[in-house]
């Protein structure tokens, strides 16, 4: 039996289990864009008048991010440009660049290009098993410095809820607790560090891929030759999501709440109106229980 779109009744392209929704191509595009818009508004991710530098690699996540940000830049009044960091990876960087060029041309977004070799780093000369770690360091450095030196207020990346959950577990289990406070939809900059924003914080890789497919966006379907064959954490997250639809989204939403809790929020307490003991509500649990009991007697 073919599924019908919940909003318009046309044939659905996907059943989104976590939202208990089936949507057609057009309604999914609108639904996805609304999700990103809500993220930007709810968490004040970007402020009107800010100049945003979107870092794009040609992959599905950053291509979706640039496309939806380009649309929202008009309604939420921010400026947007793109940055492609050419990592000089054989059989990969050139293909990615061609896709990125096409996307920026279609969206009419200005594309900035930085070659890591111009900054004195050639990943081809790094030991194979250390390439990804070096690549991460280089990308973070280049995007921050380029943004600052060219007057951008923030750097946008295509991090997804899958990334956030995986980073959280990896860092939590290795005891790196300083990291966690940095991972919010917006992390304000300081000194020479530019503000980082993550517009796809609540969206999953699968939702981003579906958006690219529904919109017919150009994106790299092949992985970087250095990408590990498996990411065990991502596999675990997919498995939990399969059994508990909505796990990722609830996890990251509550992670934001947890990371932004203040000492006062945790310490907030009152005195029970009936007995005067400390409680978090007007009547303490003990008095509520006693009242209920009395009414039963």
Q: Which is nearer to Zn ion, 5 or 224 (CB)?
A: 5
Cβ atoms of residues 56 and 100 within 8 Å: yes
Residues numbered 202-261 forming contacts with ligand SF4, rule: CB under 6 A? 224, 226-227
Binding partner of residue 165 among ligand SF4, Zn ion, none, CB cut-off 5 to 8 Å per kind: none
Binding partner of residue 131 among Zn ion, ligand SF4, none, CB cut-off 5 to 8 Å per kind: ligand SF4
Does 27 contact Zn ion by CB under 5 A?
yes
Query: Would you tell me the crossing angle of helices 247-259 and 161-173 to the nearest 10 degrees?
Result: 60
Does 132 contact ligand SF4 by CB under 6 A?
yes
Residues numbered 135-154 forming contacts with ligand SF4, rule: CB under 6 A? 135-136
**Number of residues near Zn ion (by CB under 5 A):** 6
Cβ atoms of residues 80 and 109 within 8 Å: yes
Q: What is the largest distance, in Å, between two alpha-carbon atoms of the chain?
A: 82
Residues numbered 158-187 forming contacts with ligand SF4, rule: CB under 6 A? none
CA dihedral 61, 64, 66, 71 (to 10 degrees): -160
Cβ atoms of residues 7 and 27 within 8 Å: yes
Binding partner of residue 72 among Zn ion, ligand SF4, none, CB cut-off 5 to 8 Å per kind: none
Closest CA to 68 of 101, 25, 29: 29
Binding partner of residue 194 among Zn ion, ligand SF4, none, CB cut-off 5 to 8 Å per kind: none
Q: Give the three-state DSSP class for 286.
A: helix
The minimum distance between CB 221 and ligand SF4, in angstroms, equals 15
Among left, alpha and beta (phi > 0; psi -120 to 50; other), residue 268 is beta
- Here the tokens at position 234 are 């991502």
**Number of residues near ligand SF4 (by CB under 6 A):** 7
- Kindly tell me which residue out of 5, 111, 217, 284 binds Zn ion, with binding defined by CB under 5 A: 5
Q: Which residues bind ligand SF4 (CB under 6 A)?
A: 131-132, 135-136, 224, 226-227
Q: Which residues bind Zn ion (CB under 5 A)?
A: 5, 7-8, 10, 24, 27
């Amino acid at each position: 039996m073919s599924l019908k779109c919940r909003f318009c009744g046309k044939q659905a392209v996907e059943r989104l289990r976590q939202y208990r929704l089936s949507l057609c191509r057009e309604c999914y595009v609108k639904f996805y864009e609304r999700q990103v818009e809500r993220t930007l508004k709810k968490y004040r991710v970007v402020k009107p008048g800010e100049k945003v530098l979107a870092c794009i690699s040609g992959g599905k996540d950053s291509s979706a991010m640039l496309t939806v940000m380009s649309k929202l830049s008009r309604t939420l009044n921010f400026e947007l440009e793109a940055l492609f960091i050419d990592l000089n990876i054989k059989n990969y960087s050139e293909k990615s660049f061609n896709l990125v060029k096409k996307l920026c041309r279609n969206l009419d977004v200005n594309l900035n290009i930085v070659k890591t070799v111009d900054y004195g780093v050639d990943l081809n000369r790094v030991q194979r098993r250390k390439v990804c770690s070096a690549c991460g360091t280089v990308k973070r450095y280049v995007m921050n410095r380029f943004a600052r030196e060219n007057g951008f207020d923030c750097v946008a990346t295509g991090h997804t809820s899958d990334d956030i959950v995986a980073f959280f577990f990896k860092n939590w289990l290795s005891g790196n607790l300083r990291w966690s406070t940095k991972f919010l939809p917006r992390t304000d900059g300081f000194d020479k560090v530019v503000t980082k924003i993550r517009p796809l914080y609540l969206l999953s890789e699968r939702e981003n891929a579906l958006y690219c497919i529904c919109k017919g966006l150009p994106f790299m379907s092949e992985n970087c030759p250095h990408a590990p064959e498996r990411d065990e954490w991502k596999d675990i997250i997919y498995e939990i999501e399969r059994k508990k639809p909505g796990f990722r989204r609830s996890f990251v939403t509550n992670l934001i709440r947890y990371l932004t809790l203040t000492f006062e929020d945790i310490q907030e307490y009152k005195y029970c109106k009936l007995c005067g003991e400390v409680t978090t509500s007007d009547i303490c649990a003990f008095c509520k229980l006693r009242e209920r009991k009395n009414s039963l007697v």
